[in-house]
């Protein structure tokens, strides 16, 4: 789809914006504000995009969850927070998190843990263990899963 000219209608510009990459409602509304489209038109434009299937919040949430886990090794907590910041509905968040397969999720946790563990070679055992746990918790993994992996890695 070729890029629409600057003087194209906001709807044509939004179609291109949403066709290029999966978007959520809040991103589209932010773009409308950037383009200085009157706020009275926002809901109508968003509804048109939804009707034409350019915009689907559930599809966006599922893609967001899968890609953040696979590419950035994020945990459930961080993914959930990211979706909330994008103002995605709780229903869509729950459905998106169901998409995360436990085997793949455990692999992401394990990969992130091993990579960080090897990067902390110069630290003492106790400091290394706590830095690893803090790192994994900051990636959004659950407390129980983090400590299970940390204890497995630190066992002699």
Q: Does 2 score more than 70 pLDDT?
A: no
Judging by beta carbons within 10 Å of its beta carbon (0-12, 13-18, 19+), is residue 23 exposed, middle or buried?
buried
pLDDT confidence of residue 1: 60
Locus of tokens 């830095």: 131
pTM of the model: 0.86
Residue 146 within any structural domain of the chain: yes
Residue 140 has pLDDT above 90, yes or no: yes
Quote helix, strand, coil % in the chain, to nearest 5: 70, 0, 30
Under the banding of pLDDT at 50, 70 and 90, the label for residue 153 is confident
Domain residue limits at 137: 102-154
Does residue 131 lie within any of the structural domains? yes
What is the domain count for the chain? 3
> Do 79 and 44 belong together in one domain?
no
Six-digit token pair at 142?
A: 């659950």
Whether 23 and 61 share a structural domain: no
- Per-residue pLDDT at 14 exceeds 70: yes
Same domain for 141 and 115, yes or no, is yes
For 8, other C-beta atoms within 10 Å of its C-beta total 13
> Is 35 inside a domain boundary?
yes
Average pLDDT over every residue of 110-118: 93
pLDDT in tens, 56-97: 999 999 999 999 999 999 999 999 999 999 999 999 999 999
41-67 mean pLDDT: 95
CA distances from 10 to 15, 17, 24, 53, 80 (A): 9, 10, 17, 17, 31
pLDDT at 8 over 90: no
Give the pLDDT confidence score for residue 99 in this predicted structure.
85
Higher pLDDT, 131 or 99: 131
């Amino acid at each position: 789809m070729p890029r629409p000219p600057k003087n194209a209608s906001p709807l044509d510009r939004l179609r291109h914006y949403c066709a290029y990459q999966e978007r959520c409602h809040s991103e589209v509304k932010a773009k409308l504000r950037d383009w200085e489209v009157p706020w009275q038109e926002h809901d109508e434009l968003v509804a048109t995009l939804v009707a034409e299937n350019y915009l689907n919040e559930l599809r966006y949430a599922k893609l967001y969850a899968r890609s953040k886990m696979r590419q950035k090794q994020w945990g459930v907590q961080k993914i959930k927070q990211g979706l909330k910041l994008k103002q995605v509905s709780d229903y869509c968040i729950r459905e998106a998190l169901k998409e995360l397969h436990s085997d793949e999720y455990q692999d992401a946790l394990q990969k992130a843990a091993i990579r960080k563990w090897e990067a902390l070679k110069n630290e003492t055992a106790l400091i290394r263990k706590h830095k690893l746990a803090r790192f994994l918790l900051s990636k959004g993994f659950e407390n129980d899963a983090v400590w299970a992996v940390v204890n497995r890695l630190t066992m002699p």
